[in-house]
Amino acid sequence: MKTIEQAIEKLDYKGYLDVEIPQGIDLITEIKKLKEEKNAVILAHYYQSREIQDLADYLGDSLQLARAAAQTDADMIVFCGVHFMAEAAKILNPTKKVVLPDTKAGCSLADSCSAEGLRGLREQHPNAIVVSYINCDAGVKAESDIIVTSSNAEVIINSLPQEQEIIFAPDRNLGRYLNQVCNRNMILWDGACIVHEAFSLERIAQQMTENPKAKLIAHPEAQEDLLKFAHFIGSTSRLLDYVVEDEAEEFIVATEEGILHEMAKLAPNKKLIPALVQDESCNCSECFYMKLSTLEKLYLCMKYELPEITMDEELRVKALASINRMLELSEKIK
C-alpha cells in the first residue's frame, strides 16, 4: 500500500494522489464533511460526471464558474473541471487555495495554442488585438487582450470597432462561426476540441430521420458542416436554457454529453438524444479530460488539499487583465 508521502512524491507524474481509500467509507458523506470542515466550495463544470455535478455548490459553464470563483469567500476552491479552468480560478482569486482532483485533466483546445506561438502570430499582425477563448492556458491569456467564453464572445466581438483587426485563438470552429454571425474576418488560430470535432454528420442525419420531431442543437465548437443543420447554436448554458424554454419536446444534443444530466433535471418531460460521433464502438461524446475527475480523487484532493494550483505572480497579473476585460464587458449580457 502506498503511503501519503510516497503518493506526494509521485504527484507531478501521476497528476493525482494515488492513495488507497479505506474500504466501506461513504465518499459522498465524507466529501460533504470535508467541505464543511475546510470551508471549501466545489465548482463543477456541466461536463463532469453526474455524481460530481450532484455534489457541486456551483454547477456551470466556464463563464458562470469564473464568476463564482471570483466571488467566493470560501477558504478553498475545489475545481472539478479541467486545468485551464482551475488556473482561471487562481488568477481571479489568488488568496484562495485552489485544488484540482487531477492535474492531467487538460484540454485538446488549450494544448493547441502556446504563448510563444500566439506572440509570433501577433508580431505578424502588429495592429491586431488578440481575443482568446477562455479554453487556453495562463500563458496564452497573458498574451491576449480580451478573453471570451462561448456565452459572451458574440457580444464582446460586436462591441469592438468594425475596422479593428482581430486575432482569435485558439478554436477555429468557434472563430469561423463568430466571423459569420459578427460579420468579421478575424485571423483564426488553428486549434480544435477533440470532442466537438468527433460528431458524425452522417449518423446525426440518420438520428434526425429516426426522430423527425427532434431539433438539433449544437455548441459552436462543432464543425461548420454540422452547424449548418442545427436548429439552434449556443454555449453550454444557452443550450440548457433553450431546451427548457423551447416548445419542442425532443432534442438531439451535439455537445459533451455531461450536460444531459442537468438538462434532464430542468426539463424532465423532454426527450434528449445525445448526438452520435464517428466512432461507432463508443457512441458517446464524452470529454476524456473532464471525466478524469472521480469521487475518489475528489475526496483525496479535499482531504490532503493537493494537487494545488500555483502560479507565478507576474504571469497571473498579466492573465488577469484579459479576464477582467471580459468580466467587465460581459456584465452587459448578464
| Residue ranges of the binding site | 45, 62, 107, 133-135, 150, 193, 219-221, 236, 287
CA angle 135, 110, 68 (to 5 degrees): 30
Query: Which of 34, 189 has the CB closer to ligand SF4?
Result: 189
What is the residue type of 289? Answer: Y
Which of the residues 167 through 206 are near ligand SF4 (CB under 6 A)?
Answer: 193-195
Nearest Cα to Cα of residue 300 among 45, 2, 63: 2
Report the C-alpha gap between 303 and 141 in whole angstroms: 31
Instruction: Look at residue 127 and give its three-state secondary structure.
Output: coil
CA angle 275, 278, 283 (to 5 degrees): 55
In the bound complex, what is the minimum distance in angstroms from residue 137's beta carbon to ligand SF4? 12
Query: At residue 331, what are phi and psi to the nearest 5 degrees?
Result: -55, -30
Query: Which of 93, 150 has the CB closer to ligand SF4?
Result: 150
Q: Tell me the per-residue interface mask from 227 to 266 with ligand SF4, x by CB under 6 A, - otherwise.
A: -----------------------------x----------
Binding piece for ligand SF4, criterion CB under 6 A, among 103-111, 149-157, 208-216, 326-334? 103-111
**Are 302 and 55 within 8 A, CB to CB?**
no
Query: Which of 49, 135 has the CB closer to ligand SF4?
Result: 135
Query: Which of 142, 287 has the CB closer to ligand SF4?
Result: 287
Query: Which of 195, 239 has the CB closer to ligand SF4?
Result: 195
Binding piece for ligand SF4, criterion CB under 6 A, among 68-76, 107-115, 203-211, 238-246? 107-115
**Residue 270, CA distances (Å) to 70, 88, 249, 250, 308 in order:** 34, 34, 5, 6, 40
Among 7, 109, 157, 319, binds ligand SF4 (CB under 6 A): 109
Report the C-alpha gap between 183 and 164 in whole angstroms: 12
Size of the site for ligand SF4 (CB under 6 A): 13
- Grid look-up 479541467 returns 82
In the complex, the residues that contact ligand SF4 under the rule CB under 6 A are: 47, 82, 107-109, 135, 193-195, 256, 287, 289-290
